[in-house]
Structure 1
Amino acid sequence: MFLLIGCGYIGERVADLLHQSGHSLAAVTHSQESAAKLRSTKPYPILTSDVSNHVNLQHLATQLPDAPTKILHCASSNRGGPSQYQRVFVHGCQNLIKTFPDAHLLFTSSTSVYPQLDGSEVTETTFAEPTARTSQLLRDAEQIVLAHHGTVARLAGLYGPHRSFVLKQFIEGTAAIEGNHGEGRCLNQIHREDAARALVHLFNLSPSGIFNVVDQHPLNQRDCYLQLQTLFNLPLPPTTEPNHERKRPWTHKRVSSAKLQSSGFTWRYPSYLDALKNDPELIPSILALVPSPAHPLGAHDH
């Protein structure tokens, strides 16, 4: 039986894919409101629990029809700070291992743990000692999972229907090409569908170790925005110096997908540009989020 901790943007899609494949599963959310909404549409059990609370998880265990053999921890920090990261990720992983010691644990971490600034390619064996406290806590959680012979999936920036910060900011006119001599930082991204499919793939393999979950063709900001300029007939964003004060520090690295590919995974959208052209929901759903763009739209103004 599969147990999914977190049923948000990525967890919900993983749960759907597992159910469609005939797997027995239960999905867990933190809030009663989310659970009620999901129960109205989902054919699999939706439960509530607090992963940061060991007693809560012990109660959850009594509600399951079978002991889980595989667990995905993809709960969100809800944009919280270090204390929330400590509770959800560090304590969460510790509590899951205590409560379900025989289950294989797959933990969704982030490529933000790579602190590189020089545009170099990073693999799963590359130095990963981040400066941001939140990313340091992700590394702490990773170490807990790896010590238990679990799997760590370092997810790049998620995008897909109703969610693409790159495209939304470009259309709004708030995007900027940050640093790197006017080329901007490297955008490491993964489409929601491919991220969910990759997690199911890793669930089925249950390997120990770290896997980057990122598409095959990261783009510098300038290259990406030039393509968007052609698609939308909008101005190229201005060049700026990196903002080192934001919550997630400015980094510039090209995250390698080679290990995931060598494990047998294939991408539906190998690049962001593939998704823009081939996912019929992506562009319309982002345009719907920007009812009054800063610039009149060109090619897709219909």
Structure 2
Amino acid sequence: MTVLIAGCGDLGTEVGLRLAARGERVVGRRRPAGASRQGSGGRAPPPAPPPPIPADTDVVVLAAAAGGRSEAAYRSAYVDATANVLGALERDGVHPRRILFVSSTAVYGDFDGGWVTEESPAESTTPTARLVREAEELLLGRSGHGTVLRLSGIYGPGRTRLIDSVRDGSAVLPAEPQWTNRIHRDDAAAAIVHLTMDVAEPAPVYLGSDELPVDLGEVLRFLAAELGLPGPASGEASSSRAGARRCDSALLRASGFSFAYPTYREGYRAVLAGTGVRHP
């Protein structure tokens, strides 16, 4: 049997390596460079039809990432790409037992610091988040074997924006508490493998976030201490795009999944130690 990974960036590549280590045959596909750039008509050109899908494809992982922050880039990477893969499966008469779409907790919007679960309304008014939600609905509406994994902010090898901001002194402690949610790249990849390979009947939607939502200021102070630097100065705002919500991944854990990095502390210590590599 074959696992098809559509979207072989850092996360998709890590998923593929883990599946191959388990003895699975993995086929990875990625869009050509610039495929999600905006065209002259105000939106990115539609993706080219995919090549034939291997007839023995048992699992499909949709792990595309937008090439920019524009609505055009998001529509191309999520809505158009999902429709393209689903259309190719129908075209080739291939019926995988599992299709997993890598989504984002951004679909939830602002909950004023409250907890969100898979049952919480995914009603973000942000245009890009609404496009991610549209792609979710497309998969769940067209496939009886679809699973959506909503990941919070991914960090890990090579993803050092927050660390760099503490190092260079540009980090600012928010004046008000600001909840943040995150998941280490390795845990995100492990969750995808778990849901596609180890769970017999997965739920339609899972939330993928570590076990400790935390105030951004606490993370910044922790990183400063780990780096042996003074704590960041207080300010009025932060550059973080995280919404005011706390993500609860209890359903994922109840499926038998265990985090290698259950909180930001273990994860950032691994990043600071140089553990792992970011895949090109």
Q: 1:132 aligns with which of 121, 126, 133?
A: 126
Identify unmatched segments of 5+ residues in structure 2. Answer: 35-43, 276-280
Distance 2:70 2:135 in 1: 15
**1:51 touches 1:92 (CA, 8 Å); kept in 2?**
no
- Deviation string, structure 1 residues 65-89 (Cα, Å, up to 9, x no partner): x342211111121124101211221
Residue 246 of structure 2 is aligned with which of 254, 258, 265? 254
1:106 aligns with 2:100: yes
Matches within 5 A, 1:1-302: 1-31=2-32, 52-53=46-47, 56-57=49-50, 60-61=51-52, 64=54, 66-101=55-90, 102-103=95-96, 104-147=98-141, 148-149=143-144, 150-180=146-176, 183=177, 185-204=178-197, 205=199, 207-242=202-237, 251-277=243-269, 279=270, 282-285=271-274
Cα distance in structure 1, aligned partners of 2:193 and 2:52: 22
The gaps in structure 1 that reach 5 residues or longer are: 34-49, 287-302
RMSD: 2.4
How has the CA–CA distance of structure 1 residues 51 and 200 changed in structure 2, closer, same or farther, with 3 Å as cutoff? farther
Between the aligned partners of 1:126 and 1:177, the Cα distance in structure 2 is: 29
Displacement of 1:31 after TM fit?
2.9
CA–CA distance in structure 1, aligned partners of residues 175 and 121 of structure 2: 22
Supply the distance in 1 between the matched residues of 2:68 and 2:33 (Cα, whole angstroms).
19
Alignment check: 8 A CA contact 1:2 1:69 kept: yes
In structure 1, C-alpha distance between the alignment counterparts of 2:180 and 2:129, rounded to whole Å = 18
Deviation at 1:208, TM superposition (A): 4.2
Say if 1:156 and 1:51 are closer, same or farther in 2 by CA, change over 3 A: farther
Distance 1:191 1:108 in 2: 14
Between the aligned partners of 2:21 and 2:206, the Cα distance in structure 1 is 24
What's the TM-score, normalizing by structure 1? 0.78
Change (3 A) 1:170 1:118: same
SS of aligned partner of 1:61: coil
Q: Deviation digits for residues 46-104 of structure 1, max 9, x if unmatched? A: xxxx9953x521xx116x4x342211111121124101211221111112112114223
- Contact kept in structure 1, 2:224 and 2:232, CA below 8 Å: no
> Which residue identity lines up with residue 227 of structure 2 in the other structure?
F
Q: Return the alpha-carbon distance in structure 1 between the equivalents of residues 12 and 46 of structure 2.
A: 18
Supply the distance in 1 between the matched residues of 2:203 and 2:77 (Cα, whole angstroms): 22
Identity %: 29
- On the 8 A contact 1:132/1:249 being kept in 2, the answer is no
Q: SS at the partner of 2:52?
A: helix
Contact 1:51 1:95 in 2 (8 A): no
The CA distance in 1 between the partners of 2:59 and 2:242, in whole Å, is 35
8 Å Cα contact 1:61/1:67 also seen in 2: no
